[in-house]
Amino acid sequence: MSIKVRMWGRTSGSAPRKIATVAGSILAATALLAGSTTLVAGAATPGKPGTNATKSPIVVGEDWDSTSANASFTDVTAKTIQLAVNQLNKTGGVLGHPIKLVIGDDEGELTKTPAVTEQLINEGAKFLLFNTGVDAPAKPTVQKLGIPSIGVTDVIPTFATPPDNSYTYLLSSPLSDWSQVLCAAWKKTGVKTVGVLRDNSTTTASLDDILFPTLKKCVTIVDVETAPGTASTVTAQVARLKSHNPNAILVADLGGQFEILAQDTVHQLMPKTPRYSLATIVNEPQTWSLATPGGLNGVIGIGSLNPNNPQTKKLKSFLDAHNGANYPMTAFDADAWDAIQLMKTAMVKAGGGSNPKAVNTQMQKITKYLASFGQPGYTLSYSTTKHQGANGLCGIVLQQFGANNKPDKAFAGYQPTCK
């Protein structure tokens, strides 16, 4: 004991080393804990490629941003892409050729997307899946090298519209459809004035030009408040919106923390005002628990899952079987699944996946594909000039959160229907 006291009394030497050892041990233990998670996650990867597809593999590249904040949705998408590929391989692949996925990561940075795209193509990719928030910079590369590509979860039309869009395709309903659906819902529910709260990211700001012209035709936007996406509070912004006494609040952002902060604050300061969300919050189960109890109650989000759609039901059963019962299926799962089915359809019709140009031609001939999302009967179609698959507004489902902070019901006020 006395030795210990003397050692601690020194100004240098073993005491710091001891502390370093203890601190190092704690950090090592932390790293070990993390390591065990990785192992478990690896072991839990559902399914294995079967042996039915025995011919040479077709390489498909996936740009999966697993690093940035976009991982909140890209991880879900990637998992279901893998599941869909495994299932495809189990059932014979593409005319006997299994699909081999190769993965790149642009880390959510626009500047890295072209390099990752080239890297995937250099690895032999004959088809590309962009599971990232920054797919648009890949367009010149895929155009030049002629590789058909799907922006799996992208809702901004840039990826599939000119220039350089001969090989690029989207699944989701375009943003212009969102504003039409919101207008219809507001008209039906008597909303005449709307206050907008949004983050100040360039992505969200770019939505203004797409959404606001239509929205301004059906309601009066009384105030637009902004805050940084990393804001610690938006109380002031919501208090300013409250002073205009709008009929409804529209929150527009990239989802995640800002969305929760905004919805919690609106719930606290304006508990009786209807709230709408432009973010992907209905598709981000992991963020629901960030809200205060009941903080999301009543929020109406733009989603795309209707449990009455037979295709959605079918996919839900499949996902439950592979991920466990009551898996919280999201639109990202449906997008991932449908992307693989569309790719398969085009490859089969092209006689295999080895000729990207032939596959691209067949992509443009896909019509009335029954999607796993949207209202019952919703279909996707493509042509030489139509590279966004949506057929009408009914790819959108307005989902409403309950007191349990889950979007467990369809909004009764209005739903677009497929004709």
- Tokens for 215, please give them: 């929205």
What's the closest the beta carbon of residue 290 comes to other proteins, in angstroms?
Answer: 4
**Distance from C-alpha of 242 to C-alpha of 273, rounded to nearest angstrom:** 9
What's the closest the beta carbon of residue 150 comes to other proteins, in angstroms?
Answer: 23
What is the total count of residues that contact other proteins (CB under 8 A)? Answer: 52
Instruction: By CB under 8 A, name the one of 269, 348, 370, 418 that touches other proteins.
Output: 269
Instruction: By CB under 8 A, name the one of 72, 131, 180, 330 that touches other proteins.
Output: 72
Instruction: Rank residues 20 and 403 by Cβ distance to other proteins and give the closer one.
Output: 20
**Distance from C-alpha of 27 to C-alpha of 32, rounded to nearest angstrom:** 9
Please compute Rg for the chain using Cα positions. Answer: 24
How far from 214 is each of 177, 210, 224, CA to CA, in Å? Answer: 10, 8, 16
- Tokens for 414, please give them: 């209005």
Instruction: By CB under 8 A, name the one of 131, 173, 204, 237 that touches other proteins.
Output: 237
What's the closest the beta carbon of residue 287 comes to other proteins, in angstroms?
Answer: 7
Instruction: Rank residues 140 and 228 by Cβ distance to other proteins and give the closer one.
Output: 228
What's the closest the beta carbon of residue 16 comes to other proteins, in angstroms?
Answer: 6
Contact call for residue 11 and other proteins (CB under 8 A): yes
How far from 412 is each of 285, 339, 398, 409, 416, CA to CA, in Å? Answer: 22, 30, 9, 8, 11
Contact call for residue 81 and other proteins (CB under 8 A): no
Which H, E and C letters describe 164-186, residue by residue? Answer: CCCCEEECCCCHHHHHHHHHHHH
**Distance from C-alpha of 307 to C-alpha of 325, rounded to nearest angstrom:** 15
Instruction: Rank residues 202 and 230 by Cβ distance to other proteins and give the closer one.
Output: 230
Instruction: Rank residues 127 and 288 by Cβ distance to other proteins and give the closer one.
Output: 288
Instruction: Tell me if 148 sits within 8 A of 363, measured CB to CB.
Output: yes
Of 82, 77, 132, nearest in space to 102 by CA: 82
Scan residues 282-341 and list those touching other proteins (CB under 8 A).
286-287, 289-290, 292
Query: Could you tell me which residues come within 8 angstroms of residue 224 by beta carbon, excluding any fewer than 6 positions away?
Result: 195, 196, 197, 198
Query: Could you tell me which residues come within 8 angstroms of residue 220 by beta carbon, excluding any fewer than 6 positions away?
Result: 192, 193, 194
Contact call for residue 166 and other proteins (CB under 8 A): no
3-state SS assignment for residue 307: coil
Instruction: Rank residues 20 and 321 by Cβ distance to other proteins and give the closer one.
Output: 20
**Distance from C-alpha of 338 to C-alpha of 173, rounded to nearest angstrom:** 13
- Tokens for 142, please give them: 């895929």
Instruction: By CB under 8 A, name the one of 257, 280, 304, 388 that touches other proteins.
Output: 257
Contact call for residue 8 and other proteins (CB under 8 A): yes
Instruction: Rank residues 40 and 325 by Cβ distance to other proteins and give the closer one.
Output: 40
How far from 325 is each of 267, 311, 350, CA to CA, in Å? Answer: 32, 18, 37
**Distance from C-alpha of 158 to C-alpha of 310, rounded to nearest angstrom:** 31
**Distance from C-alpha of 90 to C-alpha of 47, rounded to nearest angstrom:** 9
Instruction: By CB under 8 A, name the one of 50, 71, 143, 221 that touches other proteins.
Output: 71
Scan residues 14-43 and list those touching other proteins (CB under 8 A).
15-16, 19-20, 22-24, 26-27, 30-31, 33-34, 37
What's the closest the beta carbon of residue 145 comes to other proteins, in angstroms?
Answer: 30
Instruction: By CB under 8 A, name the one of 240, 313, 349, 406 that touches other proteins.
Output: 240
Contact call for residue 162 and other proteins (CB under 8 A): no
Instruction: Rank residues 165 and 287 by Cβ distance to other proteins and give the closer one.
Output: 287
Instruction: By CB under 8 A, name the one of 68, 214, 323, 361 that touches other proteins.
Output: 68
The CB-based long-range contact list for 207-213 (8 Å cut-off, 24+ gap) reads 207/175, 207/252, 207/278, 210/156, 210/175, 210/176, 210/179, 211/175, 211/176, 211/178, 211/179, 211/252, 211/278, 212/179
Stretch that binds other proteins, among 9-17, 43-51, 135-143, 207-215 (CB under 8 A): 9-17
Scan residues 176-205 and list those touching other proteins (CB under 8 A).
200
Contact call for residue 2 and other proteins (CB under 8 A): no
Contact call for residue 256 and other proteins (CB under 8 A): yes
- Binding residues (CB under 8 A) for other proteins: these are 8-12, 15-16, 19-20, 22-24, 26-27, 30-31, 33-34, 37, 66-69, 71-72, 75, 200, 225-228, 230, 232-233, 235-237, 239-240, 256-258, 260-261, 264, 268-269, 286-287, 289-290, 292
